[in-house]
Structure 1
């Protein structure tokens, strides 16, 4: 095996500096090349494999040129991975990824090469740093221009609208990596290709996970039948039963290549085994068959024609819908699909001979630009992720169209009671009216929707956003109030289906849960300005916020650790994000102070960053993992409380190791989750480019540059930098009419020089240290004085404050 780093010397790994375009070799047709030269593969030899290192994550359509071939070259296999360790150890690399149709399911592509040719994949490979080329047959081939055609923006970080630099290169690297993480998760409109190849003969499916029929009714079916015609072309085909909206269900694999049919849990053939049978010997590839499956929570029966080939019961999945697919290396043609459930008077049918059915399975293109959670996984929009990503986006890429598209998708999924669906697949069209449903999941994400849109409005000042969203926010907040217990004034989850949170792998909490009360308070607080500007009388919401803060302090505080406990079921433990939100939502007070909460949260610290929950939760089934998502709120709370020590510890223990090009799993992006040792926390499937981890980029610009909007759209602003022990910092926060540029120098933590440029027709307040040693402040060379260190200024001019 050979290892190339962007065409450099053999066996050399080179990290990409994400703040520049250097290292990403690009030719005139916008191909990011994994190697600048030719690559020779000789099958059945020591040179049968080559690994290319792109230095940092890339994504898009893999492409290569075959210069020459000799002998048997039918077995070219190309594998992708964010992690070298996973690429070398896992037979399926860091896939398969069956959750959505926004990228290729498998991280392995097989090619039958017989002559010189150019190849470009039809589907996108999500984020990967490494690419392994292997010739599995005893021939020789020479390849060139091996690379990827980007499906996202590749604007160098240094050329983005927003900027940040300071005297600590580690902090600069953190800001840059966060910006690149955001950029990697901004999906342009109509950039996702159709998942299937559709013709008048039927739909060709090659190595793709089944995507379940979408819709409120379809996703909740418990008893139904499906029928379809199929012509296996290579190996066999598959379909799903009782599959969720994320395609997790019962996976039926008709592996005609070895004459078997099996059932697995999950969304691919690599999941856990449920049932098995031998197929009749007369079922072969190349012929059309009619397949029927009778599906219920109790029993699943499968027929080829009138012959029953498999029947089994299972306890893995109990409701959902179905889709069609093909396992790795297999392909089939499908047509005439029907799904019927007489029990709920539901029927669906499609001939599968034109593309009109693709949106029904969310397998078409994406109608809107959207911000997703991860470049590799899940490539789905989540409200919780957006809540963190908005701030980092607006100070770096300023991807307004991506946030607007995501808000349109998620906002259209509001249900009649007022709460939202927590997720939206980017291939779906926005709904035209509220969904007739009285249940959702991840209820905290509905509150995150409110804070995300309120934060976005604060950056943009776009009054149309306020007017469009005010009725949605009012419905959500009014529903939340209806769930408050009269006995204690706390928000209560009476239906466990609403529970669950970003940590899906931990036990869901219902009843009175501190996190949900905190995020409710934060949503109330964050939305007041937007509601006021939309003409809503906010007196009631302010009163509710005051009452909720009192109730939380009265009932949810545990004086023993000095923190707010997790839930009424876990009163001896505390969570990182819920306590950080207490600071951000103004819940902390003179009795339960922000400094006390931050001090208690320090008990979560490890050399690799803070654990998301205290050790007492382990006995309740919680995992000891580190969450950049929960830590984003922790970091924001530390900055908001003016605690430079905590902020520095978080930045340097958690985020810098991910941002360090010398790190073992460096991708140029921030990760979804870490284990207690600082490695990828969820194994091979861990997303190593996850937007919810980008929090430091937004917070560094907001607090170190110190520029914040005191009126939406930065019509009025404040500059009050926090030095964080730095000697200088400079950067631009983009605003609707230009940008607010801030640059400062500091000595021993005190600012001595400050420059500000801001758009005309704005005004601001500048906060500087009060001089008590005989020094005076000058503004553009003229002495100025103030008793409290604040100066009111007008925009549209270059302001230079200097201490003399």
Structure 2
């Protein structure tokens, strides 16, 4: 039977379907709360019947959900309540909850979610109130009473947009006698519940009405048509009606919300204005301009100072205005109902320009989206070229508008890079996500949905034919692929995507599910092979992209070459299953050639490690060590030597990435590449018996990943994006604390501590080689999801004896390997093999 696998093995998504029903995961409620005059740690038990009254004396509720959750915030207010205003704030970490903007906002992408982590509600009567927007991920929430009337909540929580199962109920689990390691394993199961989203569970952030697009305050959404046209020196015109607070728009923008941003505020009528409106940041009757991401600076998305243009008129709400923004040679001219209200001098060019945007302040697309808590209607958009020719019109009333502006409802079940941000389908992060899912929830529909989503935007022509976008946006559709095309940025992510597909096949044996994408896979593979430098035999650039960017290391380098070798090896079994022996042979021989080139060109005996790259022979990297091992290029002596050098990368809670990196208190330790290293270390011990792997494994688990679970000020229950050397989140409040790329232990620990490895795809044949007693552990047990049901392994150590129990479901066969240092009780020889069949196998071991 293949019940467990096929629960979630659905057919590939159909782009043409208009809508998907919301998948109801019920409500999720806080576990604890506190009631006080300020934010404080929640210490009182809460359930969905707990009534809490806010009053001027105790105006703040602090809510702790215990772990990362996602959904639509809601409040149930007791009947008979007097009108009141409340401010809700959300944060993954408690440490940032009291900040003015909590741990937000998120201005890099729209993400089909709330861009803000603070929102205000006007409660006019008792009953159910729900936010229009999804909050993508948080553990903590506050509710602050802003007005003078007491308010009683009968219930507070989130209408969940994703699973929130108890992790012990998932098909994959792991328990040891080390509670820290148990919490670390659980990070992955939790993070994929929050960061993976079902089709239908991320609705549009715009509403289309008979008057136009009804747009609540959010990161601006840009026109894909405008990005493809990429006009310069144009004039944007549109009609707008401010429903509350103000209206916002952007010109000369990248497809991302980066370019001159304009916010026009209303006269703030008392009866329709929130009492917490920041009249210093967004004063009434004012045009506010920023040349960067948003009006607020947010960590790595730095913005220049705002410019303010007070108006000598009163901007009324619920009244239509016609706005014209003309891009001139020396700036931007803005008029309101035919009257010039401001001329904004041309800001300096973006410096340095980011890889998805030019430095120009004259050209680019346009977009719409107001500031926090604002609402406006936008309609009748037109764009005129510099010669006055009308090149674009749209009344913003028809359904096609949503896809054009990348705010269409989600039509695929996909996994995102982060629950709260960036909320993009990053194909490099996906490698970790596939493997975490395989060892936790076994939600294969998310994997196939993400693969289908990425290939929907695959480049069909041009210099990057076969490439898929490295970070496909939510809300768009394939007809707008050219607005955000695949290109030369982070090209090693293409290899990680190929490896992800190979890993999915390894875990499931689902060649049938991947067969519709085989030509897509081959096209990507063939293009990537053109990036092998014929002179060095290493991975570098191509004719189309002679100097591409990579995430894991430089061109002609160890990391990118080892990664491509590994990815090609992962594709070979799938190619054979699909009877494409030519592709299998090509991938296999190329992988071997890459490994040969690594050893010939980059192994540096004087350094005692593989060089970072041909242009940096005296440096080495964490990623180079990891991929030289995982690719199979490094032999025992090279691995041993490399691990000796690894100690020099040790820094704070983890390891810095490159030997030449400066050590500072703000350095970002990287769980993503550290995850590759963690597996390489376990592999070095399991396959080669290299004892030197133990110390760095313990340092990574106890330090880097221990940081994610040991401090309640920052712990979200999910894995992090980056970590500072002292163990705090790597980019403070901006850090995604629900990032699957940081969850490698969730798949590494069961594969090596339990030792369950599929020899043939889909676990038809397995090897179980448990790491009995490793890392000082005395007890480990767990379950590994397979297409035949969960395979259970457990072992305990008492003195010089150990007991291993393996329970294999029907349909699985293989063998158990006795680990180094142990022998089967009653045998003379160390090691040995025990044949496995369905049912229970018990093995008693004793030390050698």
What SS is found at the alignment partner of 1:667? coil
In structure 2, do the counterparts of structure 1 residues 287 and 193 end up closer, same or farther at CA, with 3 Å as the change threshold? same
What SS is found at the alignment partner of 1:612? coil
- For 1:454 and 1:24, how far apart are their aligned partners in 2? 44
1:477 counterpart residue number: 525
1:32 counterpart residue number: none
Mapped pair 1:685 → 2:728: no
Q: In structure 2, list runs of 5 or more residues that go unmatched.
A: 1-29, 268-283, 298-303, 351-358, 686-692
- For 1:37 and 1:90, how far apart are their aligned partners in 2? 27
What displacement does 1:399 show?
A: 1.1
Mapped pair 1:312 → 2:354: no
- For 1:106 and 1:436, how far apart are their aligned partners in 2? 24
Mapped pair 1:604 → 2:649: yes
2:294 to 238, 258, 268: 268
1:62 to 70, 73, 77: 73
Give 1:743-762 correspondences, 5 Å limit.
743-747=794-798, 752-762=802-812
- For 2:731 and 2:486, how far apart are their aligned partners in 1? 32
Q: Which moved more, 1:211-220 or 1:249-258?
A: 211-220
Mapped pair 1:542 → 2:542: no
Q: TM-score, normalised by structure 2?
A: 0.83
Q: Is the 8 A contact 1:412 1:431 kept in 2?
A: no
In structure 2, do the counterparts of structure 1 residues 511 and 170 end up closer, same or farther at CA, with 3 Å as the change threshold? closer
In structure 2, do the counterparts of structure 1 residues 296 and 515 end up closer, same or farther at CA, with 3 Å as the change threshold? farther
Q: Is the 8 A contact 1:669 1:688 kept in 2?
A: yes
- For 1:559 and 1:98, how far apart are their aligned partners in 2? 44
Q: Is the 8 A contact 1:261 1:310 kept in 2?
A: no
Q: In structure 1, list runs of 5 or more residues that go unmatched.
A: 17-22, 28-35, 504-508, 778-784
- For 1:175 and 1:626, how far apart are their aligned partners in 2? 19
What displacement does 1:713 show?
A: 0.6
1:130 counterpart residue number: 140
What displacement does 1:235 show?
A: 2.4
- For 1:338 and 1:355, how far apart are their aligned partners in 2? 18
Give 1:384-423 correspondences, 5 Å limit.
384-416=428-460, 417-423=465-471
In structure 2, do the counterparts of structure 1 residues 686 and 307 end up closer, same or farther at CA, with 3 Å as the change threshold? same
In structure 2, do the counterparts of structure 1 residues 323 and 435 end up closer, same or farther at CA, with 3 Å as the change threshold? closer
What SS is found at the alignment partner of 1:515? helix
- For 2:499 and 2:364, how far apart are their aligned partners in 1? 31
CA offsets 1:426-483 (integer angstroms, 9 cap, x no match): 3334569999967342111111110001001111101124433433333223222222
Mapped pair 1:736 → 2:787: yes
Q: Is the 8 A contact 2:41 2:62 kept in 1?
A: no
In structure 2, do the counterparts of structure 1 residues 260 and 490 end up closer, same or farther at CA, with 3 Å as the change threshold? same
Mapped pair 1:286 → 2:318: yes
What SS is found at the alignment partner of 1:242? strand
Q: How large is the Cα RMSD of the aligned pairs? A: 3.3
Q: Is the 8 A contact 2:285 2:313 kept in 1?
A: yes
In structure 2, do the counterparts of structure 1 residues 37 and 87 end up closer, same or farther at CA, with 3 Å as the change threshold? same
What displacement does 1:673 show?
A: 0.6
CA offsets 1:613-671 (integer angstroms, 9 cap, x no match): 33x2339x9972111111110111111111333222211111123123x5321111111
What SS is found at the alignment partner of 1:729? strand
CA offsets 1:403-422 (integer angstroms, 9 cap, x no match): 11111111222223222210
1:506 counterpart residue number: none
1:589 counterpart residue number: 635
1:41 to 51, 55, 58: 55
Q: Is the 8 A contact 1:210 1:267 kept in 2?
A: no
- For 2:430 and 2:43, how far apart are their aligned partners in 1? 28
What SS is found at the alignment partner of 2:747? helix
What displacement does 1:590 show?
A: 5.4
What displacement does 1:368 show?
A: 1.1
Q: Which moved more, 1:212-221 or 1:408-417?
A: 212-221
What displacement does 1:698 show?
A: 0.6
Q: Is the 8 A contact 2:101 2:117 kept in 1?
A: no
In structure 2, do the counterparts of structure 1 residues 559 and 219 end up closer, same or farther at CA, with 3 Å as the change threshold? farther
Higher relative contact order (CA 8 A, sep 6+): 2
Mapped pair 1:196 → 2:206: yes
What SS is found at the alignment partner of 2:71? strand
- For 2:712 and 2:248, how far apart are their aligned partners in 1? 39
Q: Is the 8 A contact 2:217 2:373 kept in 1?
A: yes
- Number of residue equivalences: 765
Mapped pair 1:169 → 2:179: yes
What displacement does 1:524 show?
A: 1.4
1:206 counterpart residue number: 216
CA offsets 1:717-744 (integer angstroms, 9 cap, x no match): 1111123232221111111121211122
Give 1:405-804 correspondences, 5 Å limit.
405-416=449-460, 417-429=465-477, 439-493=487-541, 499-502=548-551, 511-536=555-580, 537=582, 538-589=584-635, 593-614=638-659, 616-618=660-662, 624-642=667-685, 643-660=693-710, 662-723=711-772, 724=774, 725-747=776-798, 752-769=802-819, 775-776=825-826, 789-794=832-837, 796-803=838-845
CA offsets 1:19-68 (integer angstroms, 9 cap, x no match): xxxx77356xxxxxxxx2222221xxx52333222232222111112226
